[in-house]
Structure 1
Amino acid sequence: MTSPWSARFEVAPATSRLLIERAHDELVAGNPEDHRLADIRPLVRESWRRSLQSFVGAEDLPPLDLSAEELEQYRRAHPLASVIDMVRALLLPGTPEDSGVAVAVGDAAGRLLWVEGDRRVRSLTGDMGFVEGANWSEDAVGTAAPGTALRLDRSVQIRGAEHYNRLVQPWSCTAAPVHDPETRRILGVIDVTGEAEAVTPQAQLLVDATVRAVEGELLVARLRARAQDAARASRPSSRPPSSRPSARTTEADRFTLRVLGRDRALLEVAREGTETVTELSPRHAELLLVLATHRQGLSAERLGDLVYGEDAGSSAVTLRAEMVRLRRALERTAPALVPASRPYRLTVELETDAHQVLSLLHRGAHRVALAAFHGDVLPDSVAPGVAEVRETVRTSLRDALMTEASVDVLLAFADTDLGHDDAELLELCLRMLPARSPKRAPLVARLERLAAHG
């Protein structure tokens, strides 16, 4: 089936990009009465002012509200999970990877739950944080189709420079809210992001039609389920009613181990709206990181090898003593994290900032991943298990950026300790930069210095 985005339609005339950019610059600079603002579409102008009043940064990345595990659990239970195949069929028929657009489905709070479509578009938009789990509400990123559509409760098109966030201005998007077919409560939002084809009148018609089809399918499924329930209830049952009480659910504590760029890791415990932070000893940091990496559990011998390597002949005795000390420390600060034994393992989820970077790379959020990379994993540790995680993060970050990231992200990577002396990276930046870019000269100078010392 041919993709509806493969045809190029005429985009409706709009205010010139240069005028929009200048009006935006004046507003962000604190000149809300600048005469150029009168030429901006009222929908966009009012959204800009709301963004300014909400202190939205004009170049900030959107917050990542959902970790990979939270995202998977949340979207499985979300009402729009049952219609995601319909959204794909209507907006991404044929070959989604070459459609020319990215299609996103978010919740009522503006958090993106599914982002699919063109491989190139997803890679490039991932650099600006347009990824699953990110918050694209108007309060988080300013004027953009998903958040503004939710804010106004209507379908919206935002073209290029009309975006409040400058990182988003290379792209255009159309979005419309999805409502509960009976209560009309907003369930979420459907968005199409791309180049000019994403903001044609045909694009808006297609997104609006998809929303109506989704709402219709939700209603049909609900009526069908009620009919089935009624049919079951009308049948006699020989079984006595269950007296088992319903399961009581509580929000679990959230544990995060921060190991990037630091030797004394921080253990963060989020509980009922509060957060405590505890600094760990280097050895306890190593043990927790290795256990968080090997969720299936480790024998005492294997855990000793990953933490002590070949340095300790009596590593088994040393390990037992250290595990006793770790348990005592965790009993005071995070008792749920106390490791079980035989094998040694964690019985609750322990996130690490190192694995968060890997998850961001997997989602294509290169710029966000680079911003989250604060340095090597426990840089002074010589534990083999830590060295393995450290090398995995370093290699994965470099490989993903070198393969898929935009030149702006690569230049930012070249300014980090990890990328500063990477000649291959600097040469790639040179190839990607325009011939007259002023950013080329410093790169050439750095390459010459590396060659001179090589």
Structure 2
Amino acid sequence: MAVDLRAAHERFLTGPTGPARLAPVRRVVLDSWLRSRRSGVDPERVSPPVDLTGPDLAAYRREHVLAPLMPIVRRLLLDGAESDGLIIALADETGRLLWVDGDRAVRRDVERVGFVAGARWGERDAGTNAPGIALATDHAVQVFGAEHFTRSVQQWSCSAAPVHDPVTGRTLGVLDVTGRDPAASPQMLRLVRATVAAMESELAVRALRSLLASSPADPAPWPTARLEVLGTSSGALVRGGQRQPLTLRHAELLLLLGARPRGTTGEELAALLHPGTLSAVTVRAEVSRLRRAVGPLLGPSRPYRLAAPLRTDVDEVRQRLARADVAGAVEAYRGPVLPRSQAPGVQALRDELAAELRTALGRSTDVGALEAWTLSPAGADDWAAWRRLVQVQAEGSPGWLRARAHVDVLDRELAGPPARAGAARTAAARIAAARTGPAGRATPAQRP
């Protein structure tokens, strides 16, 4: 695949670019190549401008709205991953890198192509790259090796997602993970999106605190409504102390609209709601029925958006994780997000929250939180969590013996016939690594 991409890249730069000649190239990448070429980016050598350095850069970072969120980023993506060959970067809304951290050897290598704090890595400055595309399209994206526009960057892969102001919907910046091939794995993109969700939840909490501090005598306008979607077959809306049961479709719509405060088009909503084809007429009918059910909570015009803030129990879990309250997050997590839903947008949120929670548990030393999780239906068969319990307790203690015994039981269940025991342990280790994420102590292939 990499060879085909490099050949397509060469054809794009040197000759006609018909569909057949560029067949291996994804549409999102081809569009970015076209924008990069129109911007005059040199495909042979990247030279992003560095317009902030030294005290100026330090002052800009100190005052930036994303500055308080770096501890969250480091905790969820970086802690314990210094030897994993990955770096993280947080950039502002123009693509200017504010922080670059992670594996020292990789940082030295990427510095040679100008991937340093203060440099601008938007598409018009550096060509096709994950943070540049994420800002240009306002979507999470991955870029693999030869998909980069400039040849000097094609040894790297990256995953990135934009960060939004949860109140206004404005793009504040972009979070990126860069490295070799593992930096663009499916689980890495899930972790990046989950980290961004935690960042946005923390911003929402800060906005609420600021509002309450500025007008303590006024009743808080947020949250005015609460959506319950964890561990429930169809969800419920709580307003003014009254609990209103919802249909599954209405819960899906409210959850998806609440995650997109700037609004969404009918086409986007159709793709988020149904894995196949859903007509615009059907979407309009679904939204109309939802409007009759929830009244002024839903805005009257398109793009479809909520007319008032909506808090969800998913937000509660993420806010507790953002404060490093793993035990509180486990307590708030009553089960998967709308477990009966097959809507792609809901499935993505479900996977992101589970990955975020499992990542936090995989690094936690809170025995109580780990025990509560492993005793819950969601964590009863979580091999990585049981293994973590073994690691954080004194060897030979009652808790250690119980956890060790349960790990052995899970190993046997995974193994099946004795001949497959070795393969099963490898599979279990890979499952644990995928759940824990790249910030764990080893890659899936290295985990014991």
What is the TM-score when the length of structure 1 is the normalising length? 0.46
Normalising by the residue count of structure 2, what TM-score does the alignment of the two structures yield? 0.47
- Asked which structure has the greater CA Rg, the reply is 1
